[in-house]
Structure 1
């Protein structure tokens, strides 16, 4: 699972889209690794658009399981 996600995120970066992990600017490798080893929850994606409706950034925020 890690490699396909990392590849997807690299594609976003190549398009100039910023990637954030828990509110901190991050990179594809770090995010993919965090998503793979997450325990007690998972990561939720949030796509943030610019004023023209294009994706400007993708946030990955940890969400605890209940």
Structure 2
């Protein structure tokens, strides 16, 4: 069973990501477009590894997209970096 502080942390993460989504920020996980709920769920089950957050900034300094990459050593070859010509950027 999850502690109440852990559940609170997941709620905070969901609220933060929901705000990004409302502001039109594209969110990607392991190369695919995802919702805030999918990101929080992946963090909750974390069976293998952890996720690193990477911000893609536009020329004006605003967040253009938010990328979550599984940093588990076993999965690094399966998680290519998002290239600048990606349709999600």
Fold similarity call, TM over 0.5 = yes
Quote how far apart the aligned CAs of 1:40 are.
3.1
- Higher relative CO (CA 8 A, sep ≥ 6), structure 1 or 2? 1
How many residues are aligned here?
Answer: 66
| C-alpha RMSD of the superposition | 1.5
Query: Higher Cα Rg: structure 1 or 2?
Result: 2
Q: Which has the higher helix share?
A: 2
Report 1:41-52 matches (<5 A). Answer: 41-52=49-60
TM-score normalized by the length of structure 2? 0.68
| Cα separation, 1, equivalents of 2:73 and 2:43 | 14
Aligned to 2:3: none
Query: Which residues of structure 2 form unaligned runs of 5+?
Result: 1-8, 75-89
Which portions of structure 1, spanning 4 or more consecutive aligned residues, are displaced by more than 4 angstroms? none
Query: Which residues of structure 1 form unaligned runs of 5+?
Result: none
Quote how far apart the aligned CAs of 1:54 are.
0.6
